[in-house]
Amino acid sequence: MGDSTVWTLAIAAVTGGTAVLASWVTSRGSTRAARIQAETAARSQRAERLRESRRTAYLDLIEQTHRIGELYWEISAELREPSSAERATRLDALLDREVAEYAKIRRCTRVVELEGPPAAAAAALALQKATGPFYDALRPGTAEGKDCREEFDAAYRPFWKALENFVDAARDAHQTD
């Protein structure tokens, strides 16, 4: 009977040890799986926040571009009016508004450059630079009273093309995120 008690104790010890070892291995596996799942969830959340941040930056730039485009149409309408002191005063006020709107489009461009990716940032910068010909045409028109209508109106096509290019780059970036 002594031998059977020893064997029973030995089997119980081996069984208990196996159970403890199995529990430990399972615990480590569960901990590792939980850590991997948490890391995956965190990466997914970061990617979604980046995607939404980029989308907001792209939409802000597009919206600001349309605002400045509307201002350009106002300026074009004013340039079609006969030259007068009142027209010069209105053009000066519109030029001041153009400078203020440019500051907003510049800020939107910087946010897109920060958010990326590089293709969207480059397209945003090109769009910002496409506002330059409007200013370059209007400034001498207001300061020196020159007729700048043709030069001003010629700036529309490259401006809207730059917007189209930006929208394409933003769409591509947004779809690959």
What is the CATH code of the structural domain delimited by 47-176? 1.20.1420.10
Give 144's pLDDT tier (boundaries 50, 70, 90): low
pLDDT at 70: 97
pLDDT at 90: 92
Among 31-40, 42-51, 108-117, top mean pLDDT goes to 108-117
Q: Are 171 and 163 in contact (CB under 8 A)?
A: no
The distance in angstroms from the start CA to the end CA of the chain is 73
DSSP-based three-state secondary structure for 4? helix
pLDDT at 31: 76
Report which secondary-structure segment, H or E, holds 136.
Answer: helix 132-143
In this predicted structure, which of 56-65, 75-84, 119-128, 158-167 has the lowest mean pLDDT?
Answer: 75-84
pLDDT at 77: 94
What are the extents of the domains in the chain?
A: 47-176
Q: How does pLDDT run across 82-128, given as a tens digit for each residue?
A: 888 898 899 999 999 999 999 999 999 999 999 989 999 999 999 99
DSSP conformation class of 144: S
Average pLDDT (68-73) is 97
Distances (CA, A) of 106 to 21, 27, 74, 169: 63, 55, 21, 18
Average pLDDT (146-166) is 93
Q: How far apart are CA 147 and CA 157, in angstroms?
A: 20
DSSP state letters, 90-118: HHHHHHHHHHHHHHHHHHHHHHHHHH--H
Whether the per-residue pLDDT at 134 is higher than 80: the answer is yes
Report which secondary-structure segment, H or E, holds 165.
Answer: helix 156-176
